[in-house]
Amino acid sequence: MYDHSGLTPEEVDLLPREEDVRIYSERGWYLSEKLLTDDEVDALTDASELYYTGQRGRELPMRPDRLADWTPADGDVQRNNDYIHYQDEIIGKILRKPILGAVAARLAQTHEIRVFQATLIYKPPVAHEKSNIVSWHFDKYFWPTCSSDQMLTAFIPFHDCTEESGTITMVNGSHRWRHRHGAARPVGDPQDVRREYLLNGDAERNDALVEKVPVHIPKGHMTFHHCHLYHGSGPNRSPRPRRAISFHLQDGTNTYRDHTLSDSRQEPYKHDSLVRRTPAGQPDYSDPEFCPVLWPVHTPEGEASVTGE
C-alpha cells in the first residue's frame, strides 16, 4: 500500500502503475504523464531567459571544479548551467513539486527521493554544431562517489520535444548490462562525437542488442531514466532552441563513498566542495541546501508521508 499524502487526487492518478514500474525495471526508462501545467513549463522558460541575462536568486558559495556554467562569451553552443535548482527559486520551486519526487520514488521503489543536481540545458538550432550532440553515456559514470545504484534522472523539456529538436534517446535495457567500457571519459570527444564503437562494444560484451529509442516528449511530460542506462541526443534540426532541465535524483540510501577504492581514475564529484560535512568529515549528500528531500512531503509539524511499504 502507498501513502499518497501531499498529492491531490488528480496527481495520484498520474503516478506510474505496477506495470509501468515493471517496464521501467526492464527497459530502464519511463515517459511520464503530464506532471507540469503549461503555466509551470512557461514559467521555467521565462525564468531561464532571465538567468541567461545574469539574474541569480543566489550565488554558489564557491566555484567547484568542472562546473558547467555557460555565459554569453561562450557563444552559440549548447548551454549547460549546473545548480539551477539552487540559484533560481522559481525553477527550484517547480522542480520541488511533490509529484515529481513521488513518481521517482515509485519507479526506484524507494521511500525517499532527494535532489542530487539539476542542469539547465539550451540546445541551439544549429544542426552542425558538434556541442549539440551528446554522445552515449550513463550518468552513474560521473557519480563515482555515490554509493547507490538506484539513482535516476528526469529529463524535463520546456516544450514538445521530438527527434527533430534533438530529444533524448534511450538504449533499451542497457542499465542491466554488466560489462561496461573502460574509456577515460565516455562523452565529449570532438573527433568521435557519437562514439558508437563504445556502445556497440559494450552490447557485444553483454550479448545484447542495441535498441535506440528517440522519445517524443509532449509539453509538461518528462522522462525518467536509470543511472546505468545508456542515453544521448542528436543535433537540434528544428528552427527553435531545445530547452530542458536534466534533473538528477538520489534515493534515500545514497551516501558519499571513497571512489578510489573502486576506480582510481575517477575524479571527485563537484558536490564534494559545496555540501556540508558529515560528523566523519565526508561530503553530506543529504545537505538540505543543495540536496533537498523531494519525497516524502514533510508536514509543517515535521511528520512525513512515505511512499510505500
Is residue 102 one of the residues assigned to a domain? yes
Is residue 229 one of the residues assigned to a domain? yes
Is residue 109 one of the residues assigned to a domain? yes
Report the pLDDT value the prediction gives residue 258, as an integer from 0 to 100: 86
As for how many domains the chain has, the answer is 1
Give me the residue label for grid cell 539547465: 120
Is residue 2 one of the residues assigned to a domain? no
Instruction: Report the first-to-last Cα separation within the chain, whole angstroms.
Output: 7
Is residue 194 one of the residues assigned to a domain? yes
Report the pLDDT value the prediction gives residue 199, as an integer from 0 to 100: 87
Question: Which amino acid, one-letter code, is at 238?
Answer: S
Report the pLDDT value the prediction gives residue 191, as an integer from 0 to 100: 52
Report the pLDDT value the prediction gives residue 206, as an integer from 0 to 100: 93
Q: What is the pLDDT of residues 19-75, one digit of tens each?
A: 999 999 999 999 999 999 999 999 999 999 999 999 999 999 999 999 999 999 999
Round to whole Å and give the CA distance between 275 and 266: 19
Report the pLDDT value the prediction gives residue 309, as an integer from 0 to 100: 30
> Nearest Cα to 132, choosing from 246, 61, 235, 232?
235
Q: What is the CATH number of the domain that holds 239?
A: 2.60.120.620
Report the pLDDT value the prediction gives residue 181, as an integer from 0 to 100: 72
- 111 φ, ψ to 5°? -85, -20
> Nearest Cα to 106, choosing from 43, 16, 172?
16
- Asked if 120 and 47 count as a contact pair (C-beta separation under 8 A), the reply is no
- Asked if 238 and 164 count as a contact pair (C-beta separation under 8 A), the reply is yes
**What is residue 176's three-state secondary structure?**
helix
For the chain of 309 residues, list the mean pLDDT of each consecutive stretch of 10: 82 98 98 98 98 96 95 94 98 98 98 98 88 86 92 98 97 93 53 73 92 97 97 94 98 90 69 95 97 84 39
Cβ atoms < 10 Å from Cβ of 240: 12
Report the pLDDT value the prediction gives residue 194, as an integer from 0 to 100: 66
Per the structure, the complete domain to which residue 125 belongs is given by 9-295
Q: Where are the alpha helices (DSSP H) in the chain?
A: 9-12, 18-27, 38-52, 84-87, 89-95, 98-108, 196-205
Is residue 175 one of the residues assigned to a domain? yes
Is residue 307 one of the residues assigned to a domain? no
What is the number of alpha carbons within 13 Å of residue 120 lying toward its C-beta?
24
64 secondary structure, DSSP code? -
- Percentages helix, strand, coil for the chain, rounded to the nearest 5? 25, 20, 55
The residue ranges of DSSP E strands in 172-222, in sequence order, are 212-214
Q: What is the pLDDT of residues 201-228, one digit of tens each?
A: 889 999 999 999 999 999 999 999 999 9
Is residue 161 one of the residues assigned to a domain? yes
Question: Which amino acid, one-letter code, is at 95?
Answer: L
> Nearest Cα to 308, choosing from 129, 102, 152?
102
